[in-house]
């Protein structure tokens, strides 16, 4: 028997749990009908069902799609590129 830990869920996460529980309680499983009742798109339901793990309610939590880190260019390099591009631009104009 697995132990279920108490997890604080927001209203959206509780709604997600309600959708998945309603699907599991349906005898003839009809996703389109359930999605119409819950006012969600069927692709949203399938995504929720794919990520949902029964004994881990943290899987219902919102996960940001934002990148965890991004590569940045050092500011002195940006300044150097701008300087070179502007001088190159002026050389092309005055060489005509």
Q: Where are the alpha helices (DSSP H) in the chain?
A: 11-25, 31-38, 42-51, 75-94
Whether residue 76 is contained in a domain is answered as: no
pLDDT digits (tens, 9 = 90+) for 2-36: 555 577 888 888 898 899 989 989 889 899 999 99
Percent of the chain with pLDDT over 70: 85
* Number of domain units in the chain: 1
Confidence of residue 78 (pLDDT cuts 50, 70, 90): confident
Confidence of residue 88 (pLDDT cuts 50, 70, 90): low
Whether residue 93 is contained in a domain is answered as: no
Whether residue 51 is contained in a domain is answered as: yes
Whether residue 81 is contained in a domain is answered as: no
Whether residue 15 is contained in a domain is answered as: yes
Whether residue 95 is contained in a domain is answered as: no
**The pLDDT of residue 33:** 93
**The pLDDT of residue 91:** 64
Structural domain boundaries enclosing 52: 1-63
């Amino acid at each position: 028997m697995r132990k279920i830990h108490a997890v604080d869920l927001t209203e959206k996460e509780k709604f997600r749990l309600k959708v998945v529980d309603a699907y599991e309680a349906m005898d003839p499983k009809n996703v389109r009908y359930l999605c119409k009742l819950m006012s969600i798109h069927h692709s949203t339901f399938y995504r929720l069902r794919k990520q949902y793990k029964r004994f881990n309610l943290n899987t219902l939590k919102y996960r940001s799609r934002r990148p965890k880190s991004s590569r940045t260019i050092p500011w002195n390099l940006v300044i150097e590129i701008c300087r070179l591009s502007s001088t190159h631009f002026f050389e092309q104009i005055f060489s005509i």
